[in-house]
């Protein structure tokens, strides 16, 4: 119980379709069933919620490279939505850990590249520092931490579409776990932002 109160919390955010997929049948870049819900009022409030308490971002290589091509320009854009810009500035300025077996140098400032199991890196991060450790939309890392039962909070955005194909977040074989719904908001398009805390 003491670790829950004093230790760093490990959180993760991801958007899913009704059939539990984080991309469509076209592969990693097929975000058609998700992207149209990313700029709703509920989605933007959710985006702010995920990073406000976080001081470290964990990213897979693909997300890190994709985010690098988009978010720094939002951080610099004075006409961008303030919520998008707030997240972008946080992402640029915060400590980032990128998981990769192929990168030889960090793609961003304030970034280190690791080629190690997610569970080991999270254990190291939890032992030092303060603030939430946010697994930032990287499904492979979320899956690994769910398998090791190391996630304390899930920020889910459920998009009201069935992709009919693509990769699922919750694969068979995960250890059983119980979660408590601590927040739920529904948007005008039927999208739902939900926050679940691990019941231990």
Token representation of residue 112: 């280190």
pLDDT given for residue 199 in this prediction:
97
Q: What pLDDT is stored for residue 26 in this prediction?
A: 95
**With a threshold of 0.85, does the pTM exceed it?**
yes
**Cα within 13 Å of Cα(124), Cβ side:** 9
Tokens representing residue 180 in the block: 């408590």
- Residue 174 clears pLDDT 90, i.e. is over it: yes
What pLDDT, on the 0 to 100 scale, is given for residue 80? 95
pLDDT score for 162? 97
What is the CB neighbour count within 10 angstroms for residue 158?
A: 19
> Which band of pLDDT confidence, cut at 50, 70 and 90, is reported for residue 106?
confident
Architecture label for domain 2-198: 3-Layer(aba) Sandwich (3.40)
According to the model, what pLDDT value does residue 165 have?
A: 96
- Mean pLDDT throughout 44-56? 96
Instruction: Report how far residue 122's alpha carbon sits from residue 119's, in angstroms, rounded to the nearest whole number.
Output: 5
Q: Which residues contact 6 (CB under 8 A, 6 or more apart)?
A: none
**Could you tell me the CA-to-CA distances from 150 to 100, 118, 156 in Å, in that order?**
20, 10, 17
Residues in a beta bridge with 16: 158
What are the tens digits of pLDDT across the range 21-41?
999 999 988 999 999 999 999
96 bridge partner residues: 57, 111
Q: What gap in Å lies between CA 193 and CA 33, rounded to an integer? A: 15
Residue 1 has pLDDT above 80, yes or no: no
Mean pLDDT, the chain, integer: 93
| Domain layout of the chain by residue ranges | 2-198
Which token pair is 196?
């679940």
């Amino acid at each position: 119980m003491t670790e829950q109160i004093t230790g760093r919390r490990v959180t993760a955010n991801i958007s899913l379709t009704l059939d539990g997929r984080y991309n469509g049948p076209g592969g990693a870049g097929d975000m058609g069933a998700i992207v149209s819900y990313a700029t709703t009022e509920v989605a933007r409030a959710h985006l702010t919620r995920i990073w406000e308490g976080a001081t470290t971002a964990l990213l897979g290589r693909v997300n890190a490279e994709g985010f690098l091509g988009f978010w720094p320009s939002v951080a610099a854009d004075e006409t961008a939505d303030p919520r998008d810009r707030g997240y972008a500035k946080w992402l640029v300025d915060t400590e980032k850990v990128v998981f990769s077996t192929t990168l030889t140098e960090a793609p961003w400032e304030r970034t280190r590249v690791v080629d190690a199991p997610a569970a080991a890196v999270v254990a190291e991060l939890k032992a030092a520092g303060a603030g939430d450790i946010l697994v930032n939309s990287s499904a492979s890392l979320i899956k690994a931490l769910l398998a090791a039962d190391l996630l304390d909070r899930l920020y889910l955005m459920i998009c009201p579409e069935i992709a009919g194909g693509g990769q699922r977040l919750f694969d068979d074989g995960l250890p059983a776990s119980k979660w408590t719904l601590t927040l739920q908001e529904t948007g005008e398009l039927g999208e739902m932002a939900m926050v679940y805390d691990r019941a231990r």
